[in-house]
Structure 1
Amino acid sequence: MADYHSPTVVQPSIPAVDITPLERLILGLAFDTEDDAGGVYFHSWCGPSDVVTLSVDDLRTALEASRTETESCIAKHVGMLLARHDEDAGDDPPDDIDVDLTDGDAGWDRMLQDIVRRSTTTAEIVVTTAFTCTKMRPDGFGGSVMLITAEAVRYRSTTDILEEFWNEAAKASPESQPPSPGATP
């Protein structure tokens, strides 16, 4: 069986004063963390978690401690999750809530963008990921880079870059057709 991994690093370290308690809690579960002189270094040897599970009490406490003048995507999302939990709880409410970080408006990339927007010292965050596999599978290797600024979240994978190369080559030589992905020369 092949195991796929996506080792990921987030640079630079993010000043702790720029991270709300709710963001710190959730990002600290999505990534591994190290506190260093520059702040918090986020990384993951296998890739960030898509879903994190937290106790209702921990979420409420972190949300309340994160009330700021600037709204954040994760505070809004968690507020909605807690409201739904309270409405649907009945007599025996669940103790935990799953926070889906693949939700486009509340993902870890949007949390990092909110941090950049608020920060007076961090103008951008770069997330670099390697795609690896424990077996030499054709689809098991590559990578990506994400540039997060206050204005945009930009992403390119090695597959995207290869497709751009093929398109450029096709424009330069209209007779040549790019090879199909996975085709052997």
Structure 2
Amino acid sequence: MADYYSPTVIPEVIPDADMTKLERLLLTHMFESDSDDDGTYFYSGEGPSDVIWVQRSELTAALEASRGIDSQIFSYVEERIAKISSDEDEVELDLSGTSWEFILRDIVRRSSTLRYITVTTAFTCSKMRSDGFGGMALFITADEIKGCSTWEFLSDCLAEIAGGEDQE
């Protein structure tokens, strides 16, 4: 069996003041992170997590502290936590219906210091499989999320060659 990985790095240190408590809590569970003065550096050796486990008290406190701040993830998490039994101390939160990219876009949208956030991801595999290697880059601004994979780049190059052959 082959294991697929997607190591991911967000090179910009994101100011803690630019993130809501909820966004920071979720991102630190989806990614590994290091504090850097007044900001956080996010990365993941195997790939960001879509399903995370969070202490209910910590999640509830982060939701309350983030109430009224423009963030798409707020209502998403609020809806999910309302469906979870109140006697659970630790909450399993499935974030596969949304994306960390949208959390980052909301952070840029509100930030007075960040104009963009970049993300690079490598695609690797424990076996030498043709579909197990490559990568992608994202460029996230307040208005959009642009991305390109290595496969898209190579497809564009092949299309250029094919187009050039038709013209001869």
Give your verdict on TM over 0.5. yes
1:79 and 1:38 map into 2 onto residues whose CA distance is: 27
Give 4+ residue runs of structure 1 displaced > 6 Å after superposition: none
**Equivalent in 92, 97, 119 of residue 91 of structure 2:** 97
CA contact (8 A) 1:109 1:153 kept: yes
Task: State how many pairs are aligned.
Answer: 168
Aligned to 1:59: 59
CA contact (8 A) 1:59 1:78 kept: no
Aligned to 1:136: 128
1:7 and 1:145 map into 2 onto residues whose CA distance is: 12
1:4 and 1:132 map into 2 onto residues whose CA distance is: 6
Instruction: Output one character per residue of 1:16-40: Cα deviation in whole Å (capped at 9) or x when no partner.
Output: 1111111111100100000113610
Residue 97 of structure 1, CA deviation: 3.3
Please give the TM-score of this superposition, normalised by the length of structure 2.
0.90
Identical amino acids, percent of aligned pairs: 45
Residue type matched to 1:19 in 2?
M
Structure 1 unpaired stretches of 5+ = 177-185
> Partner of 2:166: helix, strand, or coil?
coil
Residue type matched to 2:95 in 1?
L
1:147 and 1:109 map into 2 onto residues whose CA distance is: 10
1:140 and 1:175 map into 2 onto residues whose CA distance is: 35
Instruction: Output one character per residue of 1:60-81: Cα deviation in whole Å (capped at 9) or x when no partner.
Output: 111001123x321111101111
> Partner of 1:131: helix, strand, or coil?
strand
Residue type matched to 1:156 in 2?
C
Aligned 1:42-121 pairs, distance under 5 A: 42-68=42-68, 70-85=69-84, 89=85, 93-103=87-97, 106-121=98-113
1:131 and 1:38 map into 2 onto residues whose CA distance is: 31
Residue type matched to 1:137 in 2?
R
Larger Rg computed on CA atoms:
1
> Partner of 1:123: helix, strand, or coil?
coil
2:123 and 2:87 map into 1 onto residues whose CA distance is: 39
Residue 58 of structure 1, CA deviation: 2.2
Residue 9 of structure 1, CA deviation: 0.3
Please give the TM-score of this superposition, normalised by the length of structure 1.
0.82
Residue type matched to 1:127 in 2?
V
1:76 and 1:23 map into 2 onto residues whose CA distance is: 12
